[in-house]
Amino acid sequence: MKSFTFSQRQLNIVIALCERFFRSENPKDASPSQLNIAAKIDVWLAELSPNLQSLIKMDLWAINWFPILFVRRFRNFLQLTPQEQDCYLCKLEECRFLTLRTMFLALKTIFYLNFWDEEIPLREVGHDFASLLENRGRV
């Protein structure tokens, strides 16, 4: 996949994050790669100002290297096993350090904003996508 926003390494982190963020226990659910979510996030970010893009890249860099602090392994995020990655991301969300937690939550927000705007995942969790798409309201 060619990226508009990221280097190949950054893109690999984005893809790995998508796999962990959007994982489902139901094998029938579409996987993040089937939904092509990483590419959608990439396109969404491509229109952001260069300053914001740099901040997001910094965020990705931090997420990639901070496992050293949290799971006490001298490996970066991409080198962790999927279980270790999950454990690390949960620790980041619950992390005491406000700055780290905030950085993680900012990234999580961008990822989920793009993911839950898609029809398939919303259907999978039982939301009536057609009514949402047409903005059918109460009256």
* Of the residues 8, 34, 49, 83, which one makes contact with another protein according to CB under 8 A: 49
120 lies in the site for another protein, by CB under 8 A: no
27 lies in the site for another protein, by CB under 8 A: no
Q: Give the nearest distance from C-beta 70 to another protein in angstroms.
A: 14
- List C-alpha distances in Å: 23 to 3, 19, 61, 132: 22, 6, 22, 23
What is the distance between the alpha carbons of residues 87 and 71, in angstroms, rounded to a whole number?
8
Asked if residues 45 and 110 have their Cβ atoms less than 8 Å apart, the reply is yes
91 lies in the site for another protein, by CB under 8 A: no
70 lies in the site for another protein, by CB under 8 A: no
- Amino acid residing at 65: W
What is the distance between the alpha carbons of residues 136 and 31, in angstroms, rounded to a whole number?
28
- Strand boundaries in the chain, DSSP class E: none
101 lies in the site for another protein, by CB under 8 A: yes
Q: Give the nearest distance from C-beta 103 to another protein in angstroms.
A: 10
Angle at which helix 98-115 crosses helix 82-93, to 10 degrees, equals 110
112 lies in the site for another protein, by CB under 8 A: yes
* Of the residues 4, 109, 120, 130, which one makes contact with another protein according to CB under 8 A: 109
78 lies in the site for another protein, by CB under 8 A: no
